[in-house]
Amino acid sequence: MRNAFIRALTEGGVRDERVVFLTADLGYKLFDDFARRCPGRFFNVGIAEANMAGVATGLALEGKKPFIYSIVPFATLRCYEQLRDDVAYHDADVTVVGVGGGYSYGANGATHHSLEDVGALRMLPNMVVLSPGDPHETEAAVAALMHRRGPAYLRLGRAGEAAVHPGPITLEIGRAIELRAGGDAALIGTGSMLSTCVQAVHLLEKRGISCGLFSMPTIKPLDSALIERLAREVPVVVTAEEHGLIGGLGSAVAEVLAESGCRVRFRRFGARDHFAHECGDQAYHRKANALDAEALADAITALARPI
């Protein structure tokens, strides 16, 4: 996803001279092509995320279109006051880009895990929250943001995520993407969990369970119409995300279902409400939180075939 973002940003910057890119001393060498092709519009502000958000707000208020970039916890929580009072309050045209969502930096420990960011940023007025599911969705999300004005948060994986879509797609902010229809259940995935959701659906198919699959690259504004439709059409709705259970996609979907009046069996899958004190890579932490394909398939099987 990271490399797809850089490609899309560079192409967008070449076409639109308003685009400015700021990094907080992260991504050494990764942005050389942007700096070369968009001279005078790349700034490394150093390890100063709060200052980066303030500078970006000033640039936006002067007509520029800044993108600011760092590892998720530092791009969001370290400078949260500035994102609230500078970016969101002024409805500034700033896109916050966080790389390494969830357990992408697993072995670096809890300081580098990002399990609260979606909840924190979707509470901010004016803030759009995007969490693309593969490199194609990432490129499409950047293209959509290029044509939109206002605060946005783009949550990325790290690198090496599998492509779920066979080729380039068009992404509409606020709309889910249907990957597969199913009559027994519907699985809604977001971010880098999407490829795991694909694996889970294949396992369910082998068990004779027809499970629809939907990517939710936009968490705010949420595709409420789709969620309400699914609740009317299938008996089971499940969400999966590499984020805490509180405040993320699952919480957002639960809010819609609670107010819709629809009766449906619903289950959220996400990280447990705890800090990880064990050292392990992304796959290790996912399995520890029942975020692997087998665990998803087992849970959906139990819901779709209640005793």
State pLDDT tens for residues 270-299: 999 999 999 999 999 999 999 999 999 999
Identify the structural domains of the chain with CATH numbers, from first to last: 2-155 (3.40.50.970), 177-304 (3.40.50.920)
Asked whether the predicted pLDDT for residue 28 surpasses 90, the reply is no
Which one, of 257, 236, 244, 252, lies nearest residue 302 by Cα? 236
Mean pLDDT of 251-267: 94
pLDDT, residue 307, reads 55
Tell me the average pLDDT of the chain: 96
- Residue 198: φ, ψ to 5°: -60, -45
pLDDT, residue 26, reads 87
pLDDT, residue 20, reads 98
pLDDT, residue 159, reads 76
pLDDT, residue 146, reads 97
Mean pLDDT of 11-40: 94
Which one, of 138, 199, 198, 147, lies nearest residue 168 by Cα? 138
pLDDT, residue 4, reads 95
Asked whether the predicted pLDDT for residue 27 surpasses 70, the reply is yes
pLDDT, residue 21, reads 98
